Amino acid sequence: MKRAMLVGTLIALFSTTGFPQEIKPTPLRADHPLVGAWKIELPEFACSEVYNLRANGTKRTISGREVSESVFQISAYPSARGFYKWVDKIVKHNGKSDCTGDKTPVGDIAISYIFLHPDGTQFLLCSEESLNECIGPFVRQESV
């Protein structure tokens, strides 16, 4: 239950729907460590989410029955504190519910920070450049 509340809190913290901001896809270098597919298990919802981060600055997410497309900007390198800043805007949605039963609206913008494990196989998604409020781990997938 505590984790479910944390996930809901973090979603609210990351989401900035209605915040007028133009997000354009920002291509990443081909060897950027976050390019690829990442999966988080959400056992409290008997569900998982898969994020497929593409080098062209777009992302496909599958969460429960929801499938969405986003454009994003991720910093090329981590900050001095070790976090990549990630700004993500939903641009397309199939209208179905995600793992939590919600529907992420088109236009939703989320600002978050990624802390990548040194071995590059997993990351935490945080609301700020701190490990105080994070969800994860998101685990790298070989193919999705």
Q: What are the pLDDT digits (tens) for 93-137?
A: 999 999 999 998 999 999 999 999 999 999 999 999 999 999 999
Fold adopted by 2-141: Lipocalin (2.40.128)
Domain boundaries, the chain: 2-141
pTM given for the model: 0.84
DSSP string, 26-71: ----TT-TT-EEEEEEEGGGTEEEEEEE-TTSEEEEEETTEEEEEE
